[in-house]
Chains A and B, each alone.
Chain A
Amino acid sequence: MAPAEGQRHPLAIYFWIWGLLFVLSTFSYMVDYIGFEGYLRWGLILTFMFLKAGFIIAVFMHMMWERMALMCAILGPPTVLLVLIGLMAVEGDYTFLTRLNFFGADTTEFAEHH
């Protein structure tokens, strides 16, 4: 391909996204600093994480300007990972309950082992 056909975009959009990433990172940090707990905490962490990831992929990695064929080939396959994550979440929960059943909730023993 000729050099001129590469990804050429106005500088302004990069500066905007750059700034946004700073703001979003500050927000994520504030979640910990303020000390939100429970679903509010996890929800905010995930929201800021997905926004940041989306901006990096779409603009910095130029995915929004690529052809649909490339977009699907790269962004499609990772969706199967959701199955793995789902299975492991269920499995982790099961292992935890099994351990509680057999070893009880005693959490002091780890100090003796090390």
Chain B
Amino acid sequence: MAHDATALGAGLTPGLRGIGSDWAGDKQTFHVPWGKAMMWIFLLSDTFIFTCFLTGYMHVRASTRIPWPNPSEVFALSFGGEPIPLILIAIMTFILITSSGTMAMAVNMGYRGHRAKTASLMLMTAALGAMFVGMQAFEWTKLIIDEGVRPWSNPMGAPQFGAVFFMITGFHGLHVSIGVIYLTTVAMKVLRGDYKKRGYEIVEITGLYWHFVDLVWVFIFAFFYLW
């Protein structure tokens, strides 16, 4: 084999390192910081995961003979008077959109070099995210304790409702929770001045993740709660 390697040319790196150098070809494809390209590729893979979940949901909902519970009524909430349909989910949606806005502001302030403003906007975003997760915990508790919904059964109709609900909102909630930790960590480092020399792309990369979480919610809101 050593003979073949020399026959290929002296300039090529052999073995495992060779795989890397062959694919890289010493050429940059995406003219963005590598961290940003990697975040985009991660989000692409996450898109496939969430689409598989939502497609699975579409399939079980289309194929069940047992009536699907009406989300408008299941997620209604009463503040003393008549129950308002889907109100909790609407509030959660507005909270997430607000957090997306504060995140966009944080990215902008980062590139302007306003350290304190960037960090506080990021912390505000994290706080809104935590609020969202809190409301989701409330929603889960209500469904599990009061309504008796389980991943394998559901007294309101199709048992698949429970499985789909816990899996999809659970996976999204996990993303929000990780995002809150991620945002807080980066915000602290911004505040400490870690990026003064390196630049504030990190804020934009964190922002990409956060906007993606909001983006996924747009689809969950439309397909699971409104449909």
Q: State the A residues within 8 Å of B (CB).
A: 1-4, 6-9, 11, 14, 17-18, 21-22, 25, 28-29, 31-33, 42, 45-46, 48-49, 52-53, 56-57, 59-62, 66-67, 69-70, 73-74, 77-78, 81, 84-85, 88-89, 91-93, 95-96, 99-100, 103, 105-107, 110, 113-114
Contacts and interface: CB of A to CB of B under 8 A. Distances in A.
Which of A42, A62, A93 counts the most B-chain CB atoms under 10 A from its CB?
A62
A6 B211 CA distance: 17
A interface majority secondary structure: helix
Contacts of A114: 153-155, 159
Interface in B99-113: 100-101, 103-105, 107-108, 111-113
Nearest to B152: A114
A92 B62 contact: yes
A89 B62 contact: yes
A25 B44 contact: no
A113 B60 CA distance: 19
B101 A18 contact: yes
Contact of B97 (A6, A21, A62): A21
Given A74-B40, A107-B66, A32 B51 contact: no
Given A3-B200, A95-B63, A96-B63, A28 B97 contact: no
B215 A78 contact: no
A70 B90 contact: no
Given A18-B100, A110-B158, 16 more contacts: A1-B31, A8-B108, A14-B105, A18-B97, A21-B100, A28-B93, A45-B226, A48-B222, A49-B218, A56-B214, A57-B215, A61-B207, A78-B51, A81-B51, A92-B59, A95-B59
B82 to A, nearest CB: 13
B30 A70 contact: yes
B171 interface: no
Contacts of B219: 49, 53
A11 B112 CA distance: 11
A25 B65 CA distance: 32
B55 interface: yes
Given A56-B218, A91-B59, A110-B157, A32 B86 contact: yes
Interface of B: 29-33, 37, 40-41, 43-44, 47-48, 51-52, 55-56, 58-67, 72, 85-86, 90, 93-94, 97, 100-101, 103-105, 107-108, 111-113, 153-155, 157-159, 198-201, 204, 207-208, 211-212, 214-215, 218-219, 221-222, 225-227
A29 B84 CA distance: 12
Contact of B37 (A49, A70, A85): A70
B65 A103 contact: yes
A42 B227 contact: yes
A62 B51 contact: no
A84 B51 CA distance: 9
